[in-house]
């Protein structure tokens, strides 16, 4: 890798956005937690520049996180953001204080001095909108630094030691609410770190194909294909890299949506000619799930049964040396917990955990460095259709977690499938599918009274949900217009026997979750 920016994470909620901004300008970067970044790590990583992220701590507290001192003596450009600015100031001899007056949200900075970091964005005397989120602020800047922008709440909104290429910003340039933030980060990377760009998804694809070939040699690779974006992209990439050394296994748990499994099999086996086992285990899953209504128990049953079936099929097919997984970059970062303490399990998301050890397989994880939308880009690069790469996320346990309090029977699944298909069809027809992050229907365990024609009905109620989100961690309910909701409700009640009432879920996450269980 010729060009590289190292992002040191102090635990900000938006650190990943820094990486997004850097990659968007054609430069590869990685995020690493502050306490893993040692002197030798930095030497091996050989970055062109370093960005220190924000974080929830206060540098005024004893024992709060610090950047490795080496960072400031190796002659590399450093950009400190919020907490990153404050720790830089503190470590270089300046002062940071907590203030009564906290500053959150939109603010304006005044450009005090021209600087290379403002190249093509603004000049001395201009006023620029930024997004602030801080309690502490810098009160004394270290020797060699000067103030290049100020705001009402943060007199040291941007400081710089241009000779040493150190820059500190009190606000968050990585978020969309700082309109010129991306350009500021770009200037840091290009003008200050001297990067030339050129990193793109097609370079990533070529490099990854080489890496897979090197790792796998003449070995055999298994890939659990669910038809979701991640596993589809992994399968397509591996197929391009190693052809028939790949074997995809699609464990059909019978909890998929209408015609979903058929279309995945058609596409991968018949159009893409990917070697594939399609194992219909729906009866087995349904019998194991019989009478179970507890969401976590359902997940455990599905996870364990999935692994059993997968293992049996893989052994029947002669086993393999590697297992391919669609682990993404956010999964990798989230699994590094440096703040200490265990995070609370809200829901266990099932995957093929435990299988690699059981079957003595090594892991191939070609998406480990990518964000979700980059995976989509890679999918397009590999020739996957928009229908596959643009798909909404769908949970591993499928429709089983979309019928709270309901027994999972073929009849109930069919009712839900039909209603879900109408809902998604109407969303697509209205041209809203890509605006919505995820849309789903939930079959409720209540029957309600209705009147249809001249007779009384006593059928299930259905809840519709649609959310906007960037990563699934937080979400807002989607604001459909009432006419659209009315149309969907009419169609579902007219066309799906068993449902006589439709509601729309207007809960955001938090406090709700996206799925109902």
Q: Quick one: 319 or 393, whose CB is closer to ligand XMP? A: 393
Q: Quick one: 229 or 401, whose CB is closer to ligand XMP? A: 401
Query: Kind and range of the H or E element at 323?
Result: strand 322-324
Q: How far is the CB of 414 from ligand XMP (least distance, A)?
A: 21
Q: How far is the CB of 451 from ligand XMP (least distance, A)?
A: 34
Binding of residue 398 to ligand XMP (CB under 6 A): no
Q: Quick one: 77 or 395, whose CB is closer to ligand XMP? A: 395
Instruction: Mention every residue, 6+ apart, whose C-beta is less than 8 A from residue 493.
Output: 450, 452, 499, 500, 501, 502
What is the x/- site pattern for ligand XMP, positions 124-143, by CB under 6 A?
--------------------
Count the residues of the shown chain that bind ligand XMP, applying the rule CB under 6 A. Answer: 15
Q: Which positions from 314 through 373 interact with ligand XMP, judged by CB under 6 A?
A: 347, 349-350
Binding of residue 299 to ligand XMP (CB under 6 A): yes
Report the C-alpha gap between 123 and 421 in whole angstroms. 54
What's the token pair of residue 250? 């699609």
Binding of residue 170 to ligand XMP (CB under 6 A): no
Q: Quick one: 112 or 471, whose CB is closer to ligand XMP? A: 471
What is the x/- site pattern for ligand XMP, positions 400-429, by CB under 6 A?
-x----------------------------
Binding of residue 114 to ligand XMP (CB under 6 A): no
Q: Quick one: 216 or 514, whose CB is closer to ligand XMP? A: 514
State how beta strands 49-52 and 5-9 pair: parallel
Residues labelled catalytic: 82, 172, 174
Report the C-alpha gap between 500 and 502 in whole angstroms. 7
Question: Collapsing DSSP states into helix, strand and coil, what is residue 369?
Answer: coil
Q: How far is the CB of 276 from ligand XMP (least distance, A)?
A: 21
Residue owning tokens 């209205």? 430
* Segment contacting ligand XMP by CB under 6 A, of 185-193, 255-263, 305-313, 389-397: 389-397
Binding of residue 396 to ligand XMP (CB under 6 A): yes
Calculate the alpha carbon distances from 334 to 13, 19, 337, 366 in Å: 11, 14, 7, 17
Q: How far is CA 496 from the centre of its chain?
A: 34
- Long-range contacts of residues 147-151, Cβ cutoff 8 Å, at least 24 apart: 147/112, 147/113, 148/111, 148/112, 148/113, 148/114, 148/115, 148/117, 148/118, 149/109, 149/110, 149/111, 149/112, 149/113, 150/109, 150/110, 150/112, 151/103, 151/107, 151/108, 151/109, 151/110
* Segment contacting ligand XMP by CB under 6 A, of 230-238, 284-292, 311-319, 396-404: 396-404
Q: How far is the CB of 480 from ligand XMP (least distance, A)?
A: 19
Q: How far is the CB of 513 from ligand XMP (least distance, A)?
A: 3
Burial of 492 (0-12, 13-18, 19+ CB in 10 A): buried
Figure out which of the listed residues 395, 460, 464, 502 binds ligand XMP, where binding follows CB under 6 A.
Answer: 395
A 10 A CB-CB count for 490 gives: 12
Instruction: Mention every residue, 6+ apart, whose C-beta is less than 8 A from residue 193.
Output: 5, 48, 49, 76, 77, 165
Figure out which of the listed residues 47, 94, 254, 397 binds ligand XMP, where binding follows CB under 6 A.
Answer: 397
Q: Which positions from 436 through 475 interact with ligand XMP, judged by CB under 6 A?
A: 438, 472
> For binding to ligand XMP (CB under 6 A), which residues are involved?
299, 347, 349-350, 393, 395-397, 401, 438, 472, 509, 513-515
């Amino acid at each position: 890798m010729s060009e590289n920016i190292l992002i040191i994470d102090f635990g900000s909620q938006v650190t990943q956005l820094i990486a997004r901004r850097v990659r968007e300008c054609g430069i590869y970067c990685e995020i690493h937690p502050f306490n893993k970044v040692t002197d030798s790590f930095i030497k091996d990583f050989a970055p062109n520049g370093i960005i220190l992220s924000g974080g929830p701590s206060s540098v005024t507290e004893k024992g709060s996180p610090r950047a490795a001192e080496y960072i400031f003596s190796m002659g590399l450009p450093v950009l400190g953001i919020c907490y990153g600015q404050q720790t830089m100031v503190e470590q270089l001899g300046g002062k940071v204080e907590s203030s009564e007056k906290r500053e959150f949200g939109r603010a304006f900075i005044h450009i005090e001095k021209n600087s290379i970091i403002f190249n093509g964005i603004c000049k001395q005397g201009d006023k620029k909108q930024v997004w602030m989120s801080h309690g502490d602020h810098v009160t004394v800047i270290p020797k060699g630094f000067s103030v290049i922008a100020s705001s009402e709440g943060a007199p040291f909104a941007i400081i710089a030691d241009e000779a040493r290429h150190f820059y500190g910003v009190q606000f968050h340039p990585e978020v969309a609410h700082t309109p010129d933030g991306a350009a500021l980060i770009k200037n840091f990377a290009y003008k200050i770190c001297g990067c030339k760009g050129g990193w793109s998804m097609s370079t990533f694809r070529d490099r990854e194909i080489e890496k897979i070939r090197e790792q796998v040699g003449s070995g055999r690779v298994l890939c659990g294909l669910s038809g979701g974006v991640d596993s589809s992209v992994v399968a397509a990439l591996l197929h391009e890299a190693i052809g028939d050394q790949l074997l995809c296994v699609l464990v059909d748990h019978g909890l998929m949506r209408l015609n979903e499994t058929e279309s995945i099999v058609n596409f991968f086996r018949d159009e893409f000619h990917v070697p594939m086992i399609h194992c219909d285990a729906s009866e087995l899953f349904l019998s194991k799930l019989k009478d179970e209504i507890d969401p976590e128990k359902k997940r455990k049953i599905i996870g364990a049964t999935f692994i059993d079936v997968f293992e049996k099929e893989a052994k029947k097919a002669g086993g393999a040396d590697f297992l391919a997984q669609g682990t993404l970059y956010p999964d990798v970062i989230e699994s590094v917990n440096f703040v200490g303490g265990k995070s609370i399990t809200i829901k266990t998301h099932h995957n093929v955990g435990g299988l690699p050890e059981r079957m003595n397989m090594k892991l191939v994880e070609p998406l480990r460095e990518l964000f979700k939308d980059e995976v989509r880009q890679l999918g397009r690069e590999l020739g996957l259709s928009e229908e596959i790469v643009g798909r909404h996320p769908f949970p591993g346990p499928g429709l089983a977690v979309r019928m709270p309090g309901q027994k999972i029977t073929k009849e109930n699944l069919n009712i839900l499938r039909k209603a879900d298909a109408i809902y998604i069809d109407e969303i697509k027809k209205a041209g809203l599918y890509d605006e919505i992050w995820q849309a789903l229907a939930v079959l409720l365990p209540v029957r309600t009274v209705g009147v249809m024609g001249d007779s009384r009905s006593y059928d299930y109620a259905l809840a519709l949900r649609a959310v906007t989100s960037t990563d699934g961690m937080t979400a807002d309910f989607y604001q459909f217009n009432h006419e659209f909701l009315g149309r969907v409700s009419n169609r579902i009640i007219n066309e799906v026997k068993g449902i006589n009432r439709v509601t729309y879920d207007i809960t955001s996450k938090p406090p709700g979750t996206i799925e109902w269980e």
